[in-house]
Structure 1
Amino acid sequence: ISFLKVYPNGKEEIKSRRINPEMPIPPQSTAIHGITDEDVKDCPTFRQVARSLADQLEGCDLAGFNSSRFDVPMLAEEFLRAGVDFDMSKRKFVDVQIIFHKKEQRTLEAAYAFYCDKKLDNAHSAEADAMATYEVLKSQLDRYPDLVNDIDVLSKEYSSFNNNVDFAGRFIYNEEGVEVFNFGKHKGKPVSEVLKNEPSYYSWMMDGDFPMNTKQVLTKIRLKELNG
């Protein structure tokens, strides 16, 4: 765990420590970060440092690169597992990757120039855009060895973005801003409506193998309806 704490007066404080993950570190991971099982065998577990870490982050907003999809959800889940009440709803989040994607040009013309090394003439004409889009896709498949030429993979793993309510995306906001299920037999139905008509579904999810954050969000929705 490493974090850089920046105070309002500009003071910077960085802290790092290794954590015992309580499971073997895969060789593929060691190849990336260089940390082995031997390196962490005598290090504390997250549960042992969770309270201290929460105290150090008290009053802090959180920022990172791809943090909205990785760092923050993982941190929230680990605090819950450790039984530490670190209220994420009180924080503001800044994701540098999202800022990067929003500020740098992400138009079809830019993609066509980057991937195909061509200038897109007649941009925004339906036919030119359709042909250019297909050329970009073919070029992406050629450029990235790990990009599988399979519609299911391209759709589910590379093209799916949802307005998640919980970090795992089990619940999402629909166009009206209502929390709806994003899986199973109730997919697309409002969570509050399902819990009202089928109370046992709440118990099934709470007893099931769902992330703790998902269960926490489900409980909040249920309590909101009960108190509403």
Structure 2
Amino acid sequence: MQLQLHRPICFFDLETTGVNISKDRIVEISIHKIFPDGEEKTYTYRVNPTIPIPPATTAVHGISDDMVKDEPTFEQLAHEINNIIKDSDLAGYNSNRFDIPLLAEEMLRAGVDFDMGKRHAVDVQNIFHKMEQRTLVAAYKFYCNKDLTDAHSAEADTIATYEVLKGQLDKYPELENNIKYLSEFSTQRKSVDFAGMIVYNKEGEECFNFGKHRGKKVVDVLNQEPGYYSWIQNADFPLYTKKVLTAIKLQGFNK
């Protein structure tokens, strides 16, 4: 089944130095862009992360320091990558919890604005887990009857994820072939930022989801304790969380 698209969607996968959203870096990114007219394009980049790749991580994806030492940094690639994805919705496997947050950190670190507010995110893993509870390798075999022999290669994982989503649409007629629906279905929690530090309450108001102000409305905390904003901005929080907090603060000023 082909995707019904009103605008392009970019399936993407990252290979990284680790799994810490704030501190780790991209070493490879592959993007498979599908256009509403059915055209497809694939872009794959190796990236110099500017920090060492731990041997245990190299053992997983096979990319070593020596393999990327002469590659461009993400800062050098950021605008090119942003030009590919800026008009698109995003999709991936475990992308809501890892790939999109880490990509946002890299973009913001490179001085490129990154905002998910006007696009949808489809996490194929969440759809899979709601339906079958398996891994990408098993999903590829289950939905596509193919063996993922090159797992942990960003390009192979990216294209496999795209094929799995099409297979899911074929298998489950109750799934709507609509990116907005798939985005909502594959979202597990309604958080304002990627890290889940700020979430919506039942009234749709932004609330802190950590620390001494857990459960309190952000606007109330910022009004009653202005220094809390500065503390977060100067502490080791994800850049996207800081960006979201600033936007909420500015909304209060505009009102």
TM over 0.5: yes
Q: Does 1:224 align with 2:244?
A: no
- The residue aligned with 1:6 is 34
- The residue aligned with 1:208 is 235
One-letter amino acid of the structure 1 residue matched with residue 74 of structure 2: F
One-letter amino acid of the structure 2 residue matched with residue 13 of structure 1: K
Q: Deviations over 1:169-195 (max 9, x none)?
A: 211222332211112221111111000
State which drifts further: 97-106 or 16-25: 97-106
CA RMSD in angstroms, aligned pairs only: 1.7
Give the direction of change, closer, same or farther, for the CA distance of 1:206–1:52 in structure 2 (3 Å limit): same
Picking from 59, 66, 70, the partner of 1:42 is: 70
CA distance in 2, matches of 1:221, 1:52: 29
CA distance in 1, matches of 2:115, 2:190: 20
One-letter amino acid of the structure 1 residue matched with residue 236 of structure 2: D
C-alpha displacement at 1:15, in angstroms? 1.2
- The residue aligned with 1:52 is 80
C-alpha displacement at 1:105, in angstroms? 7.9
Report the structure, 1 or 2, having the larger strand content: 2
Picking from 46, 51, 68, the partner of 1:23 is: 51
Higher relative contact order, structure no. (Cα contacts within 8 Å, ≥ 6 residues apart): 2
Matched-pair contact (CA < 8 Å) for 1:76–1:88: no
- The residue aligned with 1:171 is 198
CA distance in 1, matches of 2:105, 2:68: 21
Gap regions ≥5 residues in structure 1: 107-160
One-letter amino acid of the structure 2 residue matched with residue 36 of structure 1: S
Paired positions, count: 174
- The residue aligned with 2:212 is 185
Q: Does 1:64 align with 2:92?
A: yes
Q: Deviations over 1:48-104 (max 9, x none)?
A: 000111012121111111111111111111100000123321221111112222334
Picking from 60, 75, 99, the partner of 2:127 is: 99
In our comparison, the structure showing a higher alpha carbon Rg is: 1
Q: Deviations over 1:100-159 (max 9, x none)?
A: 2233489xxxxxxxxxxxxxxxxxxxxxxxxxxxxxxxxxxxxxxxxxxxxxxxxxxxxx
One-letter amino acid of the structure 1 residue matched with residue 78 of structure 2: A
TM-score (norm 2): 0.64
Q: Work out the percentage of aligned pairs sharing the same amino acid.
A: 58
